[in-house]
Amino acid sequence: MKAVVQRVSHAYVDIDGETVGRCGPGLLILVCAMQDDDKANADALAGRIARLRIFPDDDGRMNRSILDTGGEALVISQFTLAADTSRGNRPGFSTAAAPGDGETLYNRFVAAMRAEGVTVETGRFGADMAVHLVNDGPVTIPIER
C-alpha cells in the first residue's frame, strides 16, 4: 500500500457540496492499495502511520505521533498514488488494486487505524471528492508498506 501523510491544522472532504468527513489537528491520509497488497499490508501501514513521529514536542522537534497528541485523521482513498509516469505524458494506473480489492483494503486500513486508537473520519471510496486542508508545517510524507 502507498500513502501520503500530511500534518494538518484541519481538513474536510466534500461530495456534491456536502461535507462527509473532517478532522481537527492531526493527519490527512491519502491511501492507495496496490495489486499485491493484502490485509497484513493494510494493518502494517496503519501501525506505522499511527506511530509516525511528525508532531512537535515541547522543544519543537518532530518527536510525537498522532497517538501522543490525541489528534484526528481524515482518510481518503486515492488510487492515483499508483500512477506510473515512466513513459509518455499520461500516467498509467495498472499497478493499483482492482476496485473491489482496493475498497476492501481501504476499509481494512481505516479499521486498523481505529484499532490503533486514532479517531478517524473518511471520504467515500471511488467518489469524486473535493478535499480541503490547511497543511501544518507544511509536513507531507510519502510512505509505502
Active site residue 78: yes
Catalytic member of 6, 79, 104, 122: 79
Active site residue 80: yes
- From the list 133, 145, 143, 129, the residue with the least C-alpha distance to 26 is 133
Contact 23, 8 (CB under 8 A): yes
Catalytic member of 19, 35, 69, 80: 80
From residue 100, give the alpha-carbon distance in Å to each of 30, 40, 95: 18, 17, 14
Within 10 A of 50 (CB to CB), how many other CB atoms are there?
A: 19
Cα 100 to Cα 87: distance, rounded to the nearest angstrom: 27
Catalytic member of 6, 78, 104, 122: 78
Amino acid code (one letter) for 37: D
Cα 51 to Cα 43: distance, rounded to the nearest angstrom: 13
Question: Catalytic site residues?
Answer: 78-80
